[in-house]
Chains A and B, each alone.
Chain A
Amino acid sequence: MAAGTAGTNTENAPLMTADGVPLKQSLQRALRQKRRGAFLLTLPLLVFIFIFFVAPIADMMFRSIENEVVGKYIPRTVAALKDWDATSGELPDEKVFAALVEDIKIGRKDRTIGKVARRLNYEIAGMSSLFRSTARRVARLDEGPYKEALIAIRPQWGELETWQLIQRESGKYTASYYLAAVDARFDNAGNIVAQPEERQIYTFLFGRTMAMSLSITLLCILLGFPIAYLLATLPLRYAALLMILVLLPFWTSLLVRTTAWIAMLQQQGVINDLLVLVGIISDEGRLQLIHNKTGTLIAMTHILLPFMILPLYSVMKTIPPSYMRAARSLGATQARAFIKVYLPQTLSGMGAGTILVFILSIGFYITPALVGGTSGTFISNYIADHVSTTLNWGLAAALGVMLLALVLALYLIYDKAVGIDNMKLG
């Protein structure tokens, strides 16, 4: 080394290349070029992921707390309400009513008052009609006192609840969507209380989604394990055929598969016909296999089964038959060898399959919507409902974020318990 390069006589001096540049610097330069190339290659994907994955999720998260409608479209009322003590038990003074009348007049002209009406209606039913009918009649209201005039139009303006709601929801951000998502709300004093029982639905739905997903995952393990074992142990010729059968559902559209199950499972469907024909059930006693939990369980297990089989198969393929043989030669029965030696080695694949199937099923939408009826629908169906029908995007976003958090939490638990590094996917 020292023979070739000048200035490296002392042992601690940095190594130099032949032309005197420090070796580290030279290496950095060489690597930088390589790294830049690699980065440029992945750039399109990174941009794609950012635009179509990261950004929408961030937007959704923001929408679940965003609350600018009230402050933006009735700003004078909000400003005037600042000084009002909601717990005083008295209505706001004339100044606030005057500000509201002016806001509504402007809002009616700009066609923005409807947004405020809809936003407040999420919290208390009836707010929408209150704002709309008031807006229609306030145009003729030219001078005060506005307080009595408004109360005369709709007596709700004389109720504390209405003003407390406006004041509470006038901030830029709100927690009310999340409260709604866990079946809670603010009471008039601003405390968090449970929704009245007849309006509690989301915790129940989350629970049902979890329970159904768990059942589907267990069914997938029970059905998928033997198939994966066959795949891994059959001679290649048969294994290839079996693999095609496993993958076939992947190549068919989800919608087609689900509707096929409708044809199979409905009361006049193939399975019921067959059972009647064989005489197991009577014609009057046809089974209700669809538009309930059973339908969702059957169809989703079928659809998600490959996600269990493939990771299991990829792990089983790597377990040489000599392990089982070794266990048997050491004195273990077939069953014991299987439980003590084979099964533990498939756990990494089973874990991967479990987390895949569970996470996929927890967010499943099409299948429960088509075959789930009312008792077999998932939380995602309600999210979709809020997005497309009730247009309560804030609540939809809050539910979505909670679903995401749930999945992440499960992922972390799995990581702690099994270790994500041990996971084997296909």
Chain B
Amino acid sequence: MGQNGSEAFVRFEGVQKSYDGETLVVKDLNLDIPKGEFVTMLGPSGSGKTTCLMMLAGFEPATHGEIYLDGQPINNVPPHKREIGMVFQNYALFPHMTVAENLAFPLQVRRMSKADIETKVKRALDMVELGAFGGRRPAQLSGGQQQRVAVARALVFEPDLILMDEPLGALDKQLREQMQYEIKHIHESLEVTVVYVTHDQAEALTMSNRIAVFNDGIIQQISSPDTLYEAPETSFVAHFIGENNKLDGTIQSVGKGTCKVRLDTGETVTAKAVNVKEKGSRTSMSLRPERIVINPKGKSVPNILKGKIQELIYLGDHIRTRMTVAGHDDFIVKIPNTFGHEPLAEGSTVNVGWESEDCRALDFTEAHGPG
């Protein structure tokens, strides 16, 4: 994020947004997006991600700060002069026009010749494999087809930047996954810059080059999907991306990259110090369920606690185990269904262990348990 490069294609600089003059929906947003990148704004509803997109598209003015597009400040540029393609949550296909007329609309507005419009519309329809559907009304198409038309319409006038506001929210799971790949491939082949808004973390992980996790009007962390999952920097990100076990405790000592934390039930564990203050302060540790070992041999891992199995859920490839560990009764362990794994029974007590590296001590938060 620190890159102060002039190569940033989209640039938010100290942007703030308030609707009522009392609360800030977006608090001091700084974000650089290089050309050709697929950036996802991920966050729960009300986190300010859609507001950011609307400011970029020009539908909402920024209360403070400046947004740059290709080096030019665009705060005072009206939306129709920004040359930004946009895909809306409900697709916003004009119901009184056919699919072809919908696609032709941005071209007619730009006063292109009839022949040009025809070839471009045809090319765009072929790109989303809807060549035969030009004469239909949007209402005669399925949800997935409407989605493709919406994407084609946002691309047909060849903008350099595409904004997508939860475009797959209305589709069923299977179709959603298929469309994720299609959009990703379109992005790769056309080399456009995409800013994508979603609250679905799996979608964000699948498609993005970088993900900006929003909460409470602030970008909590912006990094590549794998970093985000494996090295969350705040408790919110750890909780929001993937499944997470949270253990609260008080810091005993902070060492070189590690710290000793005394859990509320009295045990002491070693954790990777990521986002901690001084000795004596509170911390919430994040531990991924697949990094936990059941009944580790001897001292093979530095942290070993007792856990009482509350519930076993058979999921085929793995067994999801809910147990009580250090007073938390929502501690989840994913046990791979490999040959000869530990036989487990509800009500029995086992040892659970993990590497210090996998247990990240983060900022303390009262809120949200795992999952």
Contacts and interface: CB of A to CB of B under 8 A. Distances in A.
Contact of A322 (B78, B89, B153): B89
B124 to A, nearest CB: 13
Contact of B59 (A325, A332, A340): A325
A156 interface: no
Contacts of B109: 330-332, 336
A332 B109 CA distance: 6
Contacts of A332: 80, 105-106, 109
Interface in A317-344: 320, 322-323, 325-334, 336-337, 340-341, 344
B95 A330 contact: no
A92 B344 CA distance: 123
A341 B138 CA distance: 14
A345 interface: yes
B68 interface: no
Given A322-B88, A322-B89, A329 B80 contact: yes
B79 A328 contact: yes
A330 B80 CA distance: 6
Interface string A163-206: 00000000000000000000000000000000000000000000
B106 A331 contact: yes
Given A320-B92, A345-B95, A329 B105 contact: no
B240 interface: no
Contacts of A325: 57, 59, 79, 86, 88, 92
A331 to B, nearest CB: 4
A340 B105 contact: yes
Nearest to A340: B105
A344 B106 contact: no
A329 B84 contact: yes
B353 to A, nearest CB: 52
Interface in B43-82: 57-59, 78-82
16 contacts: A325-B57, A325-B79, A326-B86, A328-B79, A329-B84, A329-B86, A330-B105, A330-B106, A330-B153, A330-B154, A332-B80, A332-B109, A334-B80, A336-B109, A340-B105, A345-B95
Interface string B134-153: 00000000000000000001
Interface in B84-107: 84-86, 88-90, 92, 94-96, 105-106
B52 to A, nearest CB: 15
B80 A345 contact: no
Contacts of B256: none
Interface string A237-273: 0000000000000000000000000000000000000
B120 to A, nearest CB: 13
B141 to A, nearest CB: 16
Given A328-B79, A329-B57, A322 B92 contact: yes
B57 A330 contact: no
Nearest to B57: A329
Contact of A329 (B79, B89, B94, B95): B79
Contacts of A334: 80
B83 interface: yes
B157 interface: yes
A320 B92 CA distance: 8
Nearest to A321: B59
Interface of A: 320, 322-323, 325-334, 336-337, 340-341, 344-345
Contacts of A322: 88-90, 92
Most buried by B among A326, A328, A336: A326
Given A328-B79, A329-B79, A345-B95, A320 B105 contact: no
A345 B153 contact: no
Contacts of A345: 94-96
A330 B59 contact: no
A336 B81 CA distance: 13
A330 B157 contact: yes
Contacts of A323: 92, 94
A329 B58 CA distance: 8
Contacts of A320: 90, 92
Interface string B100-143: 00000110011000000000000000000000000000000000
Interface string B229-268: 0000000000000000000000000000000000000000
A329 B94 CA distance: 13
Nearest to B81: A331
A328 B84 CA distance: 10
Nearest to B153: A330
A331 B80 contact: yes
A323 B90 CA distance: 9
Given A325-B79, A327-B105, A329-B85, A341 B59 contact: no
Given A326-B88, A331-B106, A331-B157, 16 more contacts: A322-B88, A326-B94, A327-B94, A327-B105, A328-B58, A328-B59, A329-B57, A329-B82, A330-B80, A330-B85, A330-B105, A331-B83, A331-B109, A332-B105, A337-B80, A344-B96
Nearest to A344: B96
Contact of B92 (A326, A333, A336, A340): A326
B106 to A, nearest CB: 4
Most buried by B among A322, A329, A336, A340: A329
Contacts of B105: 327, 330, 332, 340
Contacts of B94: 323, 326-327, 341, 345
Nearest to A341: B94
A129 to B, nearest CB: 66
Contacts of A326: 86, 88, 92, 94
Contacts of B157: 330-331
A310 B81 CA distance: 35
B143 to A, nearest CB: 16
Contacts of A336: 109
Nearest to A323: B92
Contacts of B154: 329-330
A283 B175 CA distance: 76
